[in-house]
Structure 1
Amino acid sequence: MRYCWLVLIILQMQMSISIMIALLKNINRNDKHCLMNYIDSAFFIVKEEKIVYNIKRDEVMDMCYLDTDIPVELFQRVLKKKIYVDKSMLIDKFNDFIGSEDCYFCITRPRRFGKTINANMLGAYYTQGYDTRELFKDLRIAQTVSYEEHINKHHVIYIDFSRLPDPCNSYEEYISWIKYCLQDDLKKGYGIEKVPGEPIQNLFEKTNEKFIFIMDEWDSIFYKDFMQEKDKKAYLEFLKGLFKTQPYVELAYMTGVLPIAKYSTGSELNMFREYNFMNDTIYEDYFGFDEKEVKELTQQYPKPSFEVLKKWYDGYYKSDGTSLFNPRSVSLALQKGKCKNYWTETGPMNEIAEYIEHNVDEVREDIVKMVAGIPVEVELEGYAASQLQLDSRDEILSAMVVFGFLSYHDGLLRIPNHELMEKFQRVLKRKSMGGVADIVNNSKNVLDATIALDGQKVAQYIEEAHDREIPFLQYNNENSLSCVITLCYLYARNSYEVTREDKSGKGFVDYLFTPKKKGYPAIILELKYNKSVEEAIDQIKKKNYVERVKDFDEILLVGINYSTDADEHKHHDCIIEKYK
């Protein structure tokens, strides 16, 4: 009996080995981890996920870039996510240009706006290496005329330029690895050997094939410390040689954060059409979520509500002025059921903060105005971030738009939403912001004095802020006064929803403080310029500004006036009343 069991075990092992051999023969894997997922499924049946694409090659060829399964695997993962918004009609847009003279596209957007997801989608759709119809059959692209014409009909070169060899301490190591991978793929796929000194484009020509190039994060190498000016020029020349007027290019799609033109001083890559946040009227629907898409998502996942999501993550604009949301933050909020700041702390935000801190006063003034809710007028058309060494106001503000920290429409700059507002408020607290930081860090005392009904103390704090002689806080209009009030009450935003010029009752209130926590009074604050605090309080009462906060047990009315004719050391007055 014991021997019978032993024979059965041996037979099972042989069957398992046969299964593994069959898998190895029929699965083309670039990634050992992915292969192990398949082996796990075959041996242990621990996964019930449906394999939604089929292998078309007859043998295993460990490709780096040529018809690799990387975009297929990554796009399949996206489709399995809880939150997915169908952007597949972007494919139909590009299908029209395959094989034409106008087949070069560079689309730049801030990080987290869907560039890589779309790159993976395009790679998965076009590749000849795999049958991916199961991935696309339920997407909008499947209903188009061009769908069958191009799905799995093209050789795809997919390169993620942000992936570096290990080690990588120089541009030469970086570009040598990319060239080696391309040469090795063409050798495996077509048996083409490289002659020493032969340019890479010659190898592509020898294949007598045409290729679609999908290149993600093309500009990522520019952020590396080892990159020098000569390296940047060499990189542009490499891309020029690979793409410009090459008959083997059917379509070239590049993504990045910063535009090509701002790196290139000549005509190296002028064949690419560039589309960014400020000039894109054609592909803007495919990067970010619009209001309709977010509303549809909240019907499936009701928490957080659409209104809360809009406050936190809206604030970007399409060319027609309609809303655009940060897609990554919306997705994470719906997955976690909670709005919070999902913007990463590292990277360009810290770099931009340094430019705000150490550069021209104009930029700091603009930021303070926008934190106060005042849009900044600026003409950014024609500007973009050419490098990370930014010198002028226009360059710094342009970089903030490119990185997604500010929104720009109709000549006006704004801080887009609550998520980014939190970031800028933190920047204002940094010691290197000098007098501005001192005012902000004293703002808790201003709020405490307000709640204690100590109008004299509030006026004193505001007077001290004014006396710091920060150039852009010297009052010449009511907006300047508003900036000082915003800084003086910045701490209040921890416990209050603070809105400016909110339509309420019969007019507009300058500041409305709506408590987010129990135990805090609602506050209505009215500013006057060369008038009186009594007029401010009287206006609050006559125009029924309390309508918006009538449900709170305690309401404070605050009137503040700035007088240019007052005594040299007392320009501000403040009175605070409890509403009865």
Structure 2
Amino acid sequence: MGRYLNSSTPYALYQGETNQPYFVDKSLLLAELFPVLDAGNQHICITRPRRFGKTIMVNMIAAFLSKKVDSDSIFSRLKITSNLKYKEYRNKYNVISIDFSKISRFCDSYSDYIGKIETTLIRDLKKEYPQIEVYEDDSAADVLETIFEECNQERFVFVLDEWDFIFHKDFINEENKKQYIQFLSNLLKDRPYVQMTYMTGILPIAKYSDGSELNMFDEYDMACKEKYSEYFGFLDEEVDQLYDIYKKITKNPKILRSELKEWYDGYRAAAGDYLYNPRSVVCALRDNQLANYWTSSGTYDSIFNYIKGNIADVRNDLVLMVAGEHVPAKMQQYAATANALHTKDQIYSAMVVYGLLTYENGKVFIPNKELMDKFDELLLSNQQLGYVYRLARESQRMLQATIHGDTDTMEEILEYVHDTEVPIYSYNSEVELSAIVNLVYLSARDEYRVEREDKAGKGFVDFIFYPKRNNIPGIILELKIDHTPQKAIEQIKEKNYQLRFQGKIGEIPVYEGSILAVGISYDKKTKKHSCEVEML
């Protein structure tokens, strides 16, 4: 066994995963690869956001196929055993497994990086095939060709993780990127020794290769390709199973099943499934705490740089998305360098690739509360967003004014909407009004669980603010266009919305403190907002 060739590392790592209490069995992916192995010389690239289970699948595939470690003790208890060809493929292949994110601490140049990878692979091959002659100037591809010719046409499965990792390193320049693409092409393309290549990354290959170097790959992303979609991210029924385990093994469980959905669900796969962020679900259940486990801060910063370059087009959509709306967009291949992302569609396509947005039926949207919190940070911390930033910064003052019934201050803050040099909306619908109201109550999310209910066709949109602690009032907020705020409050009373705080029959009340009815209206003729606050 070597560092890359038939390494025991994937076996050890995947075995550790299967022993975790919140392990999800995705081993049926292996059965989908059996025909690919039979065909030979096939190349698959799976692209997903970070923390969506790509590396676990890489380790699973390498552990299952590699001939040097008997992995029956792992897989005999997994779903793949239901496949009649299970034993035919298990531990029958030479596997070259490379994690491109593993980098030497002394590496400070591309030549160091790729040189270390190639030297290690050649060393593994020489150790396994001592009978072949290796020349000083041989590349890894040269050595593999020699093995194929001299060792009974020996073939290899390549399992490559985080293929695009190196593109994010400071020491890589544009020429190095071309050299790296050429390295992969030379290693894999039209080579008789390749049984199969299974490769993962965040960014599609076309992001860095606009020619034919890597056109042998079949690429599968989350937004547009259905195949393999159920193996990355957790499905609803899988989270149900994990939640049952959580209730059994957790001494004082604090998380509701519905909260997992609110926080971590909402990614839309091309096959139609809604997917949960798997890492976040596992972290929340393990820690017994709902929190933001999103870790891709570098990506978050770079996405803002894209937005900053086209603020005029993007910021209005941000307001709508933070309000829960879906925004029309055309998914475009994220194929240019970052500096070439100029249009809204290019920006949104990049954000979908990174997992910051999800895409469904021609529209993009923020998938869940975990990501919504990241967008809240964006709106509250970047002055370049202009009026959006200023309105969001007023949200704490708006909340305090509401709690104290200070309608003059509430109206003053809302009037800023029409004082800005770029009017945001014409207020032709309650949806547009609700987007602005959502923005000016942005900071309320720290103190409240804010739920928005869209009563399509009935002429109103309302918000309910459920307090996270008992010393602040609950809030029911009703919006009206061309009606008085008093009319909005009347509707709150008529519909008995305060009953929402009592929960379902037999359940503990959601909240038992004081409740405020808040009516906000907008008059199209006078272009004035009016507010009313009343204790129920």
Structure 1-normalised TM-score? 0.84
In the TM superposition, what is the alpha-carbon distance from 1:320 to its structure 2 partner?
4.2
Of 19, 22, 25, the match for 1:86:
25
**Following the alignment from structure 1 to structure 2, what is the Cα–Cα distance between the partners of residues 345 and 118?**
20
Aligned to 2:123: 184
Paired AA for residue 21 in structure 2: K
- Aligned: 1:253 with 2:198: yes
Residue 476 of structure 1 deviates from its aligned partner by 5.0
Indicate the larger mover: 131-140 or 471-480.
471-480
Q: Secondary structure at the match of 1:408?
A: strand
Corresponding position of 2:187? 242
Residue 104 (str. 1) matches residue 43 (str. 2)? yes
- The change in CA–CA distance for 1:371 and 1:399 in structure 2 (over 3 A counts) is same
SS at match of 1:264: coil
1:266 is paired with a residue whose SS is coil
- 1:342 corresponds to which residue? 293
Shift of 1:378: 1.2
Q: Distance in 2 between matches of 1:193 and 1:221?
A: 31
> Which range moved further: 283-292 or 345-354?
345-354
How far apart, in 2, do the equivalents of 1:548 and 1:442 lie? 28
Q: Which residues in structure 2 correspond to 1:114-193 (within 5 Å)?
A: 114-191=53-130, 192-193=132-133
User: Which residue identity is paired with 1:236?
Assistant: I
Q: Secondary structure at the match of 1:330?
A: helix
Q: Distance in 2 between matches of 1:332 and 1:402?
A: 23
Tell me the distance in 1 between the aligned counterparts of 2:423 and 2:3: 56
Given that 2:292 and 2:370 are in contact with CA atoms closer than 8 Å, whether structure 1 keeps it comes out as: yes
The whole-number CA distance in structure 2 between the counterparts of 1:313 and 1:474 is 33
**Contact 1:106-1:272 within 8 A present in 2 as well:** yes
Q: Judging changes above 3 Å, is the alpha-carbon distance between structure 1 residues 195 and 219 closer, same or farther for their aligned structure 2 residues?
A: same
Are the structure 2 counterparts of residues 194 and 249 from structure 1 closer, same or farther at C-alpha, using a change threshold of 3 Å? same
Contact 1:87 1:286 in 2 (8 A): yes
Larger RCO, structure (CA 8 Å, separation 6 or more): 2
- Tell me the alpha carbon deviations over residues 471-496 of structure 1, each in whole angstroms, 9 at most, x when there is no partner: 53564543332222111111111111
**What's the CA shift string for 1:278-298, capped at 9, x where partnerless?**
122120111111000111111
Contact 1:407 1:414 in 2 (8 A): yes
- Preserved CA contact (<8 Å) 2:40 2:196: no
- Structure-1 residue corresponding to 2:141: 201
Q: Percent identity?
A: 44
Report the alpha carbon displacement of residue 538 of structure 1 after superposing the two structures with TM.
2.8
Map residues 64-463 of structure 1 onto 2, 5 A cutoff: 64-101=3-40, 103-191=42-130, 192-208=132-148, 209-302=154-247, 303=253, 304-344=255-295, 346-380=297-331, 382-384=332-334, 386-389=336-339, 390-432=341-383, 433-463=385-415
Tell me the CA shift for residue 99 of structure 1: 4.1
Letter in 2 for 1:330: V
Question: What is the Cα deviation at residue 358 of structure 1?
Answer: 4.5
CA distance in 2, matches of 1:291, 1:250: 35
Instruction: Note the residue ranges of structure 1 that are not aligned, 5 or more in a row.
Output: 1-60
Q: Which residue of 2 aligns with 1:485?
A: 437
Q: Whole-Å Cα distance in 2 between the matches of residues 70 and 185 of structure 1?
A: 14
Match for residue 525 of structure 2? 565
2:465 corresponds to which of 494, 498, 513:
513
Q: Once the two structures are superposed, what CA deviation does each residue of 1:188-231 show, in whole Å capped at 9, x if it has no partner?
A: 11123432444432211211210000000001011112222221
CA contact (8 A) 1:472 1:480 kept: no
Q: CA deviation at 1:66?
A: 0.8
**Structure 2 length-normalised TM:** 0.91
Q: 5+ unaligned residues in a row in structure 2: which ranges?
A: 149-153, 248-252, 503-510
- Any residues of structure 2 matched to 1:16-27 within 5 Å, and which? none
Aligned residues of 2:434 and 2:461 also touching (Cα < 8 A): no
Report if the CA contact (8 A) 1:110-1:257 is conserved.
yes
Contact 1:473 1:483 (C-alpha < 8 Å) held by counterparts: no
User: Does the CA contact (< 8 Å) of 1:281 and 1:319 recur in 2?
Assistant: yes
Alpha-carbon offset, residue 177 of structure 1: 1.4
CA distance in 2, matches of 1:442, 1:424: 16
Task: For 2:31 and 2:382, locate their aligned partners in 1 and report how far apart those are by CA, in whole Å.
Answer: 51
Deviations 1:57-98 (A, max 9, x none): xxxx6x221111111111111122221000111111111211
Q: Using the TM superposition, name which of 532-541 and 300-309 deviates more.
A: 532-541
Give the length in aligned residue pairs: 513
Task: Indicate yes or no: 2:474 matched with 1:522.
Answer: yes
* 3-state secondary structure, aligned to 1:572: strand
Partner-residue secondary structure (3-state), 1:250: strand
> What is the distance in 2 between the residues matched to 1:259 and 1:265?
11
Q: Do the aligned partners of 1:449 and 1:455 also contact (CA within 8 Å) in 2?
A: yes
**CA deviation profile, 1:109-132 (whole Å, cap 9, x unmatched):** 011110000000111111111112
What secondary structure, in the 3-state scheme, does the structure 1 residue paired with 2:405 have?
Answer: coil
- The answer to whether the 8 A contact 1:385-1:399 is kept is no
Specify the SS of the correspondent of 2:424: helix
Distance 2:330 2:532 in 1: 41
Residue identity matched to 1:564: K
- Does the CA contact (< 8 Å) of 2:266 and 2:274 recur in 1? yes
Query: Given residue 143 of structure 2, which amino acid in structure 1 is its aligned partner?
Result: L
Conserved? CA contact 2:158–2:198, under 8 Å? yes
What is the CA-CA distance between 1:512 and the residue it aligns to? 1.5
Where 1:499 maps in the other structure, the secondary structure is strand
Q: Is the 8 A contact 1:108 1:255 kept in 2?
A: yes
* Cα drift, residue 463 of structure 1: 0.9
Q: Distance in 1 between matches of 2:309 and 2:208?
A: 24
* Aligned twin of 1:44: none
CA contact (8 A) 2:118 2:139 kept: no
**Residues 394 and 417 of structure 1, relative CA distance in 2, 3 Å threshold:** same
For residues 34-61 of structure 1, give each alpha carbon's deviation from its aligned partner in whole angstroms, at most 9, with x where no partner exists: xxxxxxxxxxxxxxxxxxxxxxxxxxx6
Q: Is the 8 Å Cα contact of residues 236 and 274 (structure 2) preserved in structure 1?
A: yes
Q: Deviations over 1:393-414 (max 9, x none)?
A: 1121111111111111111211
1:529 offset after TM fit, Å? 2.2
1: CA distance, partners of 2:438 / 2:307: 18
Code of the residue aligned with 1:554 in structure 2: it is S
8 A Cα contact 1:385 1:396, kept in partner = no
